[in-house]
Chain A
Amino acid sequence: GAMALARPAQAQQEPLQPNTLEEIQGYNNFYEFGYDKADPARYAGEMATQPWTVKVDGLVDNPGDYALDDLLSGIETEERIYRLRCVEGWSMVIPWNGVELADVLAKVGVQPAARFVAFETVVQPEVMPGVQAGVLDFPYVEGLRLDEAMHPLAILATGLYGEPLANQNGAPIRLVVPWKYGFKSIKSIVRISLVEEQPPATWNLTNATEYGFYSNVNPEVDHPRWSQATERRIGGGLFSSRQPTLMFNGYEEVASLYEGMDLTENF
């Protein structure tokens, strides 16, 4: 609702100008389809997204294989205009449509012992050139601490600009955690597990010194191979300026989640 729309807008000075649909659908990291930014738009169309089942398991009251509509039924879909900051140093503004992750978790019934949420992306090797080439160890997995997952800014998106998600954007359902680097916002989710121990995360497994479990946007903690102090907003053309990257990508209201933690250590 209106509250949700107002929240991200408070975090920055000017109103956010969303990127165009062409930009959002044409420049993607979705390594299952290859490592070039144009590969997902080129190949993801072949991915089958209907029917779609999400397995919910682990420390939940209502485990099961949920048809997508059943998982989301009764939960209001909202628009959230969020900045997206890629770990590579570029950014976009995206008008997502989705539901709060906390509402979905409430629906499946999180048990008291659960401390983390684990997510898994679909694998359809026959239509995924990046899976065939072994670009990463698939399936892609990600995770959040339970309090991060319960934060009202964390959503499961099913659309953008009022249209269903394009496959390259993670159709039919993906995570969006706007204060973390983009790779944490796992795409095309087929499994959500409530667990006790910190779950594995693909980029962290690939290179733990470069990609931490938390991966909060932080201009003061550089990637070992490049600075994170600035970013370039996609769509500015050949002569566009870099802009300063904001702590937590501008979503300072999540800072309390990390009180007392050394963010250089827990990057």
Chain B
Amino acid sequence: MAVPSAAAQAVNTALRRVPAWLLYGAGAIYMAWLFWQALSGVSVEPIDWLERAYGETALQLLVATLAVTPLRRLLGINLLKFRRALGLLVFFFVLAHFLVWALLDVQTLDAVWADIVKRPYVTIGMAAFLMLIPLAATSNNASLRRMGGAAWRRMHWLTYPIAVLGAVHYVWLARGFALEPLLYLCAIVLLLATRLPFRRVATA
């Protein structure tokens, strides 16, 4: 682990006073604000707009969650106490994205099921959502104690395939060459690459 620079230490000191629950509040307000915008004419196609807004926010939070470890390893910035909140917010935004898709966009149960079975980009999105459920359910201290650290960590490695599936889901959706989905995929692949076990070279 890198020795924290003065700047990193200043960031760590400042963040020590920020409670993690603030993130839940901010996430809930942001989710409600997006919904309100969709209700009040932000787009002439508000269903599609809201579906995308929730999905993109989930991907942004996923990138933030995956950035916590490399930030600590490489720059000495410690955001560990916010990681659970970030991860749970990913789940809630994906849940909201799923509900807007199923209830407001596709609208009938038959069509929802048909899409999940027949459309590969829906299938992988759904798979990522299902994998998020056990992670969200065990994102609490009681579960961590009951499962034990090793088993809990192994299960939460599911985050990595979830992130890749989520990004591919977005890339697959585009017609033609769309830059933004590819940027999310690149960010996620890079953040996962920092976790590969590179051989350390002694520098002393």
Q: Which residues of B sit under 8 angstroms from A256, Cβ to Cβ?
A: none
Instruction: Given A133-B179, A225-B119, A241-B107, verify A35-B45 contact (CB < 8 Å).
Output: no
> Does chain A have a CB within 8 A of B121?
yes
Instruction: Given A234-B45, A238-B46, verify A225-B172 contact (CB < 8 Å).
Output: yes
Cβ < 8 Å to B, chain A residues 187-236: 206, 222, 225-227, 230, 232, 234-235
Instruction: Given A31-B176, A134-B177, A226-B119, verify A23-B114 contact (CB < 8 Å).
Output: no
Q: Which residues of B sit under 8 angstroms from A239, Cβ to Cβ?
A: 104
Q: Which residues of A sit under 8 angstroms from B39, Cβ to Cβ?
A: 237-238
From B38, B115, B175, residue with most partner A Cβ within 10 Å: B175
Are the CB atoms of B45 and A37 closer together than 8 Å?
Answer: yes
Task: For the complex, give the distance between the alpha carbons of A127 and B81 in Å.
Answer: 47
* 10 sampled A-B residue pairs with Cβ under 8 A: A27-B44, A35-B175, A90-B48, A136-B176, A225-B119, A232-B47, A237-B39, A237-B46, A239-B104, A242-B107
Cβ < 8 Å to B, chain A residues 126-150: 133-136
Q: Which residues of B sit under 8 angstroms from A103, Cβ to Cβ?
A: none
Instruction: Given A27-B45, A37-B45, verify A225-B121 contact (CB < 8 Å).
Output: yes
Task: For the complex, give the distance between the alpha carbons of A23 and B45 in Å.
Answer: 9
Q: Which residues of B sit under 8 angstroms from A22, Cβ to Cβ?
A: 44
Cβ < 8 Å to A, chain B residues 157-204: 172-179
Q: Which residues of B sit under 8 angstroms from A222, Cβ to Cβ?
A: 118
> Does chain A have a CB within 8 A of B111?
yes
Query: What total of A-B pairs shows CB separation below 8 Å?
Result: 59
Are the CB atoms of B44 and A227 closer together than 8 Å?
Answer: no
Are the CB atoms of B38 and A238 closer together than 8 Å?
Answer: yes
* Nearest CB on A from B44, distance (A): 4
Q: Which chain A residue shows the least CB distance to B40?
A: A238
Are the CB atoms of A238 and B177 closer together than 8 Å?
Answer: no
A interface, size bucket: 20 to 34
Q: Which chain B residue shows the least CB distance to A206?
A: B176
Are the CB atoms of B175 and A88 closer together than 8 Å?
Answer: yes
* Nearest CB on B from A220, distance (A): 14
* Nearest CB on B from A89, distance (A): 9
Q: Contact residues of A with B, CB < 8 Å?
A: 19, 22-23, 26-27, 31, 35, 37-38, 88, 90, 133-136, 206, 222, 225-227, 230, 232, 234-235, 237-242
Are the CB atoms of B44 and A235 closer together than 8 Å?
Answer: yes
Q: Which residues of A sit under 8 angstroms from B45, Cβ to Cβ?
A: 27, 37, 90, 232, 234
> Does chain A have a CB within 8 A of B43?
yes
> Does chain A have a CB within 8 A of B86?
no
Q: Which residues of B sit under 8 angstroms from A37, Cβ to Cβ?
A: 43, 45
Q: Which chain A residue shows the least CB distance to B178?
A: A35
Q: Which chain B residue shows the least CB distance to A31?
A: B176
Task: For the complex, give the distance between the alpha carbons of A222 and B111 in Å.
Answer: 13
> Does chain A have a CB within 8 A of B58?
no
* Nearest CB on A from B28, distance (A): 19
* Nearest CB on A from B51, distance (A): 11
Task: For the complex, give the distance between the alpha carbons of A38 and B42 in Å.
Answer: 11
> Does chain A have a CB within 8 A of B50?
yes
Are the CB atoms of A136 and B44 closer together than 8 Å?
Answer: no
Instruction: Given A226-B119, A227-B115, verify A238-B175 contact (CB < 8 Å).
Output: no
Are the CB atoms of B44 and A26 closer together than 8 Å?
Answer: yes
Are the CB atoms of B176 and A23 closer together than 8 Å?
Answer: no
Are the CB atoms of B44 and A240 closer together than 8 Å?
Answer: no
Task: For the complex, give the distance between the alpha carbons of A230 and B104 in Å.
Answer: 14
Instruction: Given A35-B176, A136-B177, verify A234-B119 contact (CB < 8 Å).
Output: no
**Nearest 7 Cβ contacts at the A-B interface:** A23-B44, A238-B46, A27-B44, A35-B178, A135-B177, A234-B44, A136-B176
Instruction: Using A27-B43, A238-B104, A239-B104 as known contacts, list a sample of 18 further A-B pairs with CB atoms less than 8 Å apart, ordered by residue number in A.
Output: A26-B44, A35-B174, A35-B175, A35-B177, A35-B178, A90-B45, A90-B48, A134-B177, A135-B176, A136-B176, A222-B118, A227-B111, A232-B45, A235-B44, A238-B46, A238-B47, A238-B50, A242-B106
